[in-house]
Amino acid sequence: MNNNEKGFAQSDVEETFSAIKEHLSSLEPTQVLEVMANVFIWYGASMLKDRPSFSHVNQANLINILIEERKANGESLATAMIQQGLTIFAWLD
């Protein structure tokens, strides 16, 4: 049995993926995209070097947080994930 970096067995990852896939299959395509966008933004923000308090993150300041993070620390997986989430939301509108 293979373990990934966090110690999860591959079967745990596959089981989690299957459960998520099953839940998402009950949603409309636009709802799935909305869930994915939110997950990208949430997970990206959780990986930022200068993590903001999530209680202070909202639609009005998320772009400013993203810009400031890029200025301070450059492009990263965290900022790319946030940007992808925002791109999905823009497409949905």
**Percent of the chain with pLDDT strictly greater than 90:** 47
Confidence of residue 1 (pLDDT cuts 50, 70, 90): very low
> Which residue(s) pair with 9 in the sheet?
3
pLDDT for position 49: 74
Instruction: Extract the tokens encoding 83.
Output: 């940007």
Q: What angle do CA 85, 79, 9 make, to 5 degrees?
A: 80
Nearest Cα neighbor of 44 from 65, 27, 24 is: 65
Round to the nearest angstrom and report the end-to-end CA distance of the chain.
43
For 22-51, how does the pLDDT look when each residue is reduced to its tens digit (9 = 90+)?
Answer: 999 999 999 999 999 999 998 998 888 776
Instruction: Give the start-to-end residue ranges of the domains of the chain.
Output: 28-92
Confidence of residue 55 (pLDDT cuts 50, 70, 90): low
Q: How far apart are CA 65 and CA 67, in angstroms?
A: 6
